[in-house]
Structures are given as C-alpha cells and as structure tokens.
Structure 1
Amino acid sequence: MYDVIIIGKGPAGLSAALYTVRFNLKTLIIGGNDSKLFKADKIDNYLGFSETISGSYLLTEGEKQVKRLGAEVVDDEVISIEKDDHFSVATVKTQYSAKALLLATGAPSKTIRIENLVKLEGKGVSYCSTCDGFFYNNLKVGVLGNKDYAISEAIELLRFTKDLTIYTNGKQLEMSSKYEDEAKQFRVETRQISKLDGSEFLERIFFADGTSEQIDGVFVAYESASSIDFARKLGILTQGNTVVTDQNQQTNLPGLFAAGDCASGFKQISVAVGQGALAGKAIADYVKSLK
C-alpha cells in the first residue's frame, strides 16, 4: 500500500510529490502526457526561467526531479476510485491502494467539432446556465453533453424553461445513480450533430442524417475535469467544475485532497504549484495522524 497516490502529473501533482517524498511518504503518481500544459509551446509567466520554455520541458524536468527524490510515476489512466478504510484506485492496467489521495488532473476542455458552434457563441450558444439561463425563459433549449454535468445543467435550466432536450452528439447518456431518476424527465437525442445554424442567432440544429429541428439555445456541458467525476462519485463537495477544498487543499472527505486547475478558479502554473505544495504538507500531516 502507498502512503499517497497522486492522480495527475501536472504542476500541482508533481509539486505535491516533492513534499510527500521529502516527508518520507511512499508516493505514487498516475497520469499521462495529454494535458494542455504539456502541449503548450511557449511559457513566459513562470518564475525562474530567463528564456521561454515549453510546457513539455517543464513537466518532463519536474517528473525527473520527483523520480530522483524517490516518487514512483506510472503512465496509466484511472477509471474508478473507492473508499473504505483506505483508497482503492483502479486503472486501465491494474489496481492500487493508498492511505491518502490527491486529485490533480487539471480541468481539460474537450474540443467539440460542430460547425458554427464557436461562431454562435453568445448568439444562442452558452457555457453557463447560471449566467445565461434567464435569457431563455419559456424557450426551446438544448444541453450538449452525455454525462452528469449535462444533466445537472439541464436541471438548473428547468428554472427557466420546461422545453429541454439533452443532445449527446452520437454518444450514449452516461450518469451516476444520483441523476438516474432526474434524467428521466428530459428528452434525450442521441443522433450525431452536424451543425448549428441561424442567420443572426441560433435557430436550428442539424443532424448527420440530414434532418433538423428548431432550437433557441444550446448550453455546452461536456465534462471539463475527470476530477469532478471522481469527486461526485465519492460524495465530495463541488462547485461548478471545481472541487471544494479548505485552505490546505483538503476536501470534505478525510484523506482526499485536490489541487491545481480542478480546485482553482485562477488556472495558472504558479497557483497549481503552490496548491500542490500545500497539499503535500497537509497529506504528510494526515498520514502521520493515522499512525
């Protein structure tokens, strides 16, 4: 069993590992090289580099550093987390257990390739039901997504209109048990979407089979952070797409911490590194308290 498993090897996860290994905790980091930062070509807003660096350089050097200090790093994908007297982490390849867990997967944005989606942003396409739902009182509205977040956005929109459809864009609707009953109240359209259209504002949604239907607004609700999926299943408090933590990055579940973009509104490398350091120290204190 590990003392701590860190999910995500971005700046928050690697920073936390620097501290957990220095406190002699058996540390495992699970993640891949598919983050937005890893793909960033130029970074000039992180202290300590006189010349522009790339995201891949920063993360590769950080991984080398934590390995040198004693952390174990594996390239794998976490598919589920369970909590009893310890944390059980199932990946595509195997299963691990730990006394403490840090969610540091970032907040990846998923690209949705639908014609005119970007063009109609602010003209019928929105990303925030709380911000823009009021403008669609009693109108025909769709939510674009196929997971819990899409259902939660649809529920939020019920305050403004009852004419709601969840568009999964060719995928099956996937949800946790929390939303099984509530999802039944919505029409679900699983056909793939080819484009959105309208002369000035959004007017119609077209499907790959050539048919179309009238629509007044579409709210994009593709899940932006896998940490949110894990948090919801574990009963962790969330706010929008952010995991709620205290000042030491501890969630409401003892032993579970979150840091970086999944737990911050200001998504910057320096913020992620700082939160990782706070989490690393707090995790060490938590594990020590178990002995």
Structure 2
Amino acid sequence: MTGGLWQDRQRVDCLVIGGGPAGLTAALYLARFRLSVQVIDRGAGRAASIPLTRNYPGFPDGISGRELVQRIGEQAVRYGARITTAEVATVERSGDIFQCRTSSGLIEASTVILATGIRDVRPPLDDELHAAALAAGLIRYCPICDGFEVSGRRVAVIGRGAHGAREAAFIRSYTDDVTLLAWDGTTNLDVTQRAGLAGAGIAVVDGAVASARMQHDKLILATDCGELAFDAVYPALGAQVASRIAQELGAQVNEDGYLHVDEHQRTGVPGLYAIGDVVAGLNQISRATAQAATAATALRNDLLLSPPP
C-alpha cells in the first residue's frame, strides 16, 4: 500500500464502488487524508448522462454531468486515488478484510464505501430515441433538478397512482400545461386523486401510448386519444436501487431497497459505508457529495481508532 496509514499492508485502506459525484468526492477526501483508495466504476453512471445541470453550486451557466464527473475524478487522481473501469461481481467479508471480485481482478480493502446509486426505470423507448431525447432535454428524470427549465412549457408526466399524481402536481408549480398519462393507459388514479389533478388544472390521458418520435424540438406521443406534442416528458416510473452488494453483506434496506445509514453514513455492517442515491432520501448531487465528505471523514476516524491488525 502506498500513501496509507499502514505501509506494510498489501491492500487498500478503502475501496469505493461507484464513480459518480458521490464516489469520486469520497475518493478525493480519502486521498487527501493520505489513505490509499481504489475506485471501481462500471462506466455507465446516472450522473454522466445529465446533459446540463444548473442547480449544482458554483456553475451558474450549468455543467454537464459528464464534465462534472470528469473534473472530480481528475481532482481525486491528482492526490493519489486510483480509478478503474470494471464490473463488480461479489464483495465478501473475511475477518476484518473485504474481498471484492471484479472483472479486472481481486481487490482487498479494510473498508468499503458504496456509491452504487440507482437506475431510473425508463419508458419503453428504443435506445437510440431515448438517448437522443435525453440529450435534447425532451426526456427528463429529475423535476427537482430542472423543473425550472420547463417553466411555461408543455410537459407530460408518465406515471400512475399516487406517485405519478405527486410528480405532476410538483411540475404544475412551474407551468400551467401539465398532462399525466401512463404508457399502457392504466393511470390507476382513484376518485380523490383525479379530483385533485382536475382542480390543479392537470390533464389526464387514459389512452395508451402506441409510439413516440422526435419532431423538431418536441417529443410526439401517439396515444389512443390522438397525437400529443410535448416540450418535455418526465417518466415517474420509479428506480432500481443498486443495493445488492450491501444486502448480501447484511446491510439493512427499506421496502424500496434504499440503504439505511447512521448520521456518519455507516451501514450496520462494520467497515461498510454508503452514500449518494443508494441511500434513502433526496436524490441530488449536492446531497451525495456532502454525504461523501461525511463518510470519508468518519471512515478515517474509525480507522484511526481501530486500525487493522
């Protein structure tokens, strides 16, 4: 190990799984704490797909997710962090050591920070159309992040039930032209929800979506009720939480699969920390990077109090 607290060990002080803003910020802090840190990332993170974020502090003109990730990664590497693109197969605990088997080999670590995030559930668009619509800002996944950008525009929410109704109501605070629909036509709204949406001036389309296409600066949805053109479409279909590794190690999750942590980002498994969207709470980059600083500092102090044998 080079640059760590225990120079005679042949493993890293911390393995960070996930190379988004959370994981890379943790690596930056750990490297500056003079700990050895290895980041493993599969190279397809959620943040990197953001065309432009305008609500991350310090970038008044906005910054793409890819550039933000690149900048934080370069900063972490400057101080000694190592970043490897690989898939993680398993993580096992053997005594006080975590053994991580990846597509690039075996890594042993005294501690692990999980920054594995979530994956948005997409509407059934083909990959090419989805990528093009996402890049053009026609498909958007985070109204908290960019609802301001759709102010006064025609917006659709793809969702059902209480979750879809809540997201449509949230977006209604930015524009008076909001439509809620479900891809298969099943909105699952009860009488009270329909009345609430109607009272807020939110349209509900009960027809299924047969197809979608981009036309100029619009996303056209062909429904049973005719073609509808939107300036932006927000899928409110939930997310798949990447907490498998933590659960296999014995960490506790809520009913949706999000990890429970304490105020220092510790899971219930000694030496295992979690940060970012994989943790229950608000899915925001600023929150994720704050959690990274908290976890890295707690980890350093925990190692100082209980160094490996």
TM-score range, shorter chain: 0.5 to 0.7
User: CA 1:56–1:199 in 2, change beyond 3 Å: closer, same or farther?
Assistant: closer
What's the Cα RMSD here?
3.0
On the 8 A contact 2:92/2:98 being kept in 1, the answer is yes
Structure 1 residue runs of 5 or longer lacking an equivalent are 129-194, 203-219
* C-alpha distance in 1 between matches for 2:55 and 2:302: 33
SS at match of 1:88: strand
Tell me what 2:268 maps to. 252
* C-alpha distance in 1 between matches for 2:57 and 2:122: 30
On the 8 A contact 2:115/2:276 being kept in 1, the answer is yes
Tell me what 1:58 maps to. 68
User: Which runs of structure 2 are paired with 1:212-251 in the superposition (5 Å)?
Assistant: 224-226=240-242, 228-239=243-254, 240-251=256-267
* C-alpha distance in 2 between matches for 1:23 and 1:120: 45
On the 8 A contact 2:158/2:237 being kept in 1, the answer is no
Q: State the Cα distance separating 1:111 from its structure 2 match.
A: 2.8
Tell me what 1:288 maps to. 304
Tell me what 1:191 maps to. none
Aligned residues: 205
Q: State the Cα distance separating 1:225 from its structure 2 match.
A: 2.2
Tell me what 1:93 maps to. 104
Identity among equivalent pairs (%): 29
* C-alpha distance in 2 between matches for 1:199 and 1:18: 45
Structure 2 residue runs of 5 or longer lacking an equivalent are 1-10, 127-155, 165-182, 190-205, 207-235
TM-score, structure 1 normalization: 0.63
Q: Which runs of 4+ in 1 moved over 6 A?
A: 197-202, 220-223
Structure 1 residue identity aligned to 2:288: A
User: CA 1:277–1:120 in 2, change beyond 3 Å: closer, same or farther?
Assistant: closer
Q: State the Cα distance separating 1:95 from its structure 2 match.
A: 1.2
User: Is residue 285 of structure 2 the alignment partner of residue 275 of structure 1?
Assistant: no
* C-alpha distance in 2 between matches for 1:37 and 1:24: 27
Tell me what 1:109 maps to. 120
* C-alpha distance in 2 between matches for 1:120 and 1:10: 26
Higher RCO (CA 8 Å, separation ≥ 6 residues): 1
Deviations 1:117-150 (A, max 9, x none): x998426xx889xxxxxxxxxxxxxxxxxxxxxx
Deviations 1:258-280 (A, max 9, x none): 00111141111110000000011
Q: State the Cα distance separating 1:21 from its structure 2 match.
A: 1.0
User: Is residue 288 of structure 2 the alignment partner of residue 261 of structure 1?
Assistant: no
Structure 2 residue identity aligned to 1:61: R
SS at match of 2:67: helix
Q: State the Cα distance separating 1:250 from its structure 2 match.
A: 0.3
Structure 2 residue identity aligned to 1:268: Q
On the 8 A contact 1:114/1:196 being kept in 2, the answer is no
* C-alpha distance in 2 between matches for 1:266 and 1:106: 12
* C-alpha distance in 2 between matches for 1:50 and 1:119: 27
SS at match of 2:119: coil
* C-alpha distance in 2 between matches for 1:199 and 1:57: 37
Tell me what 1:25 maps to. 35
Structure 2 residue identity aligned to 1:263: V
User: CA 1:249–1:47 in 2, change beyond 3 Å: closer, same or farther?
Assistant: same
* C-alpha distance in 1 between matches for 2:158 and 2:53: 31
SS at match of 1:81: strand
User: CA 1:197–1:74 in 2, change beyond 3 Å: closer, same or farther?
Assistant: same
* C-alpha distance in 1 between matches for 2:271 and 2:302: 7
